[in-house]
Amino acid sequence: MVQPKKEERKPTVDELLAKAKKPSQLASPLHRFYEGKLQVMPKCSITSPADFAIWYTPGVATPCKEIQANADKSFELTNRWNYVAVVTDGTRVLGLGNIGPEAALPVMEGKGLLFKYLGGVDGFPICLRTKDPDEIVRACELIEPSFGGINLEDIEKPKCFYVLEKARERLHIPVWHDDQQGTATVILAGLMNAFKIVGKKPNQSLITLVGAGSANVRTAYVLIRWGMKPGNIIMADTKGVIYPGREDIKKEDNPWKYELSQKTNAEGRRGDITEAFKGVDAVVAASKPGPGTIKKEWISMMAKNSIVFACANPIPEIWPWEAKEAGARIIATGRSDFPNQVNNSLGFPAIFRGVLDVRAKTVTDDMCIAAAQELAKFAEERGMHEEDILPRMEEWEVYPREAVACALKSIDQGVARIKPSKKELYDKAVAMIQNARESTRLLMKNGLIKQAPPEDKLLK
């Protein structure tokens, strides 16, 4: 259902800029105040020290022996079924680049926070002091017995493709690269609804992907898997349009990008990035943070009723109001303080909730598509318009639905260790997510999570 957009006073450019800068200004003072964002809390009953005889020695030896006899019992007798490792080498953190494992830790902690609050998943930051792709894969193998899933994060290209591929081959738990699959999932959901609003059919439209890194390479594969004609996708990188035979794109250097260079761009466009904008219906940018990476005059070259997703963080490739002035009808960014946030937080918490609840052995692109379809369906059912094409993080009801969609797809594809009913999956997802949210609320209410000082004191 498409709702008419509500008219309201438009903020000035100065107001928008001030709003955009606020999160960065507050981030360091608040991180310093809380000394991090995660902690470990008990989930079992403790009434007296005598209980430790059950939870630890001597009683704990009994479940240990059960697991020794059958390793899969670790999913029943420990919290392994709900543990996810958030693994990075710190080489491609947000828009900051290769800042190292220690500097990546705030992002990985943030990922763990979103995992818990939005999906009820216990995510642990694992920042590795290695840049070697084989060592990263080996590290994932070594820690596999403790976890129900692996979330790869902020690993530079093309290494990230290799790490994901090899880890998925070698591990028997879901391995997911959020910068690839997570971004692709939410982009696909946004495009589904954006095309509905502008009245265009995706299969008859042209889509340009600006940037050929982890996000857009996987987005291209997911779009094709979803049913987009490969030839209707145009990719562009810093050197211009990607086309078959471009000499600098070699199979031995980046086989994934090379494969897409052979499949996409049926028109055979060549030249600089402006050629990728001419007459296209949608642009999805996952490239260099702006502003100014995408220029207004390029947007004006697009087809009527165009769609622009400027997903770079922390600053989108073009400010939304500039894209609007240039003629774009629907604009999305990766930021929560602008309309239409295309953000991985809509995907990974629920997708992992789903695959963990069936103890899946892997996570596939088809599961990403199932998640995207549920995200798009939720927004359409509750009503959407040009500045509201996706669910928002506060709409927590979407997460159980998305989790169930992924779990059922896992069962359908034969990679689930257990097969609960749809109702059992939904009830469990709701309970896990509500538990995480209510626990946080109670800790805040009782002062166990401190209230932060006012903004004016933090910024002194």
CA distances from 445 to 32, 199, 436 (A): 21, 47, 14
Query: Token pair of 139, please?
Result: 């590290």
- The arrangement of strands across the sheet holding 175-177 comes to 122-127, 83-88, 149-152, 175-177
Q: Which of 169, 105, 216, 196 is nearest to 384 (CA)?
A: 196
Tell how far CA 35 is from the center of its chain: 25
Q: Which of 353, 342, 367 is nearest to 399 (CA)?
A: 353
The overall longest dimension of the chain from CA atoms, in Å, is 73
> In terms of DSSP bridges, do strands 233-237 and 240-241 run parallel, antiparallel, or are they unpaired?
antiparallel
How many CB atoms are closer than 10 A to CB 2? 15
Annotated catalytic residue: which of 83, 111, 295, 377? 111
- Tally the C-alpha atoms within 13 A of residue 122's C-alpha that lie toward its C-beta: 15
Task: Look up 83 and say whether it is catalytic.
Answer: no
Task: Look up 117 and say whether it is catalytic.
Answer: no
- Tally the C-alpha atoms within 13 A of residue 132's C-alpha that lie toward its C-beta: 6
Tell how far CA 327 is from the center of its chain: 28
Angle at 62 (CA atoms; ends 60, 64), nearest 5 degrees: 75
- Tally the C-alpha atoms within 13 A of residue 457's C-alpha that lie toward its C-beta: 6
Residue that the structure tokens 């309970």 belong to: 431
Annotated catalytic residue: which of 56, 250, 304, 450? 56
Give the contacts of 10 (CB within 8 A, at least 6 positions apart).
Answer: none
Burial code (b: 16+ CB inside 10 Å, e: under 16) for 141-163 equals eebbeebbbbbbbbbbbbbbbbb
Q: What is the DSSP letter of 347?
A: T
Q: Which of 249, 232, 240 is nearest to 270 (CA)?
A: 240
List active site positions: 56, 111
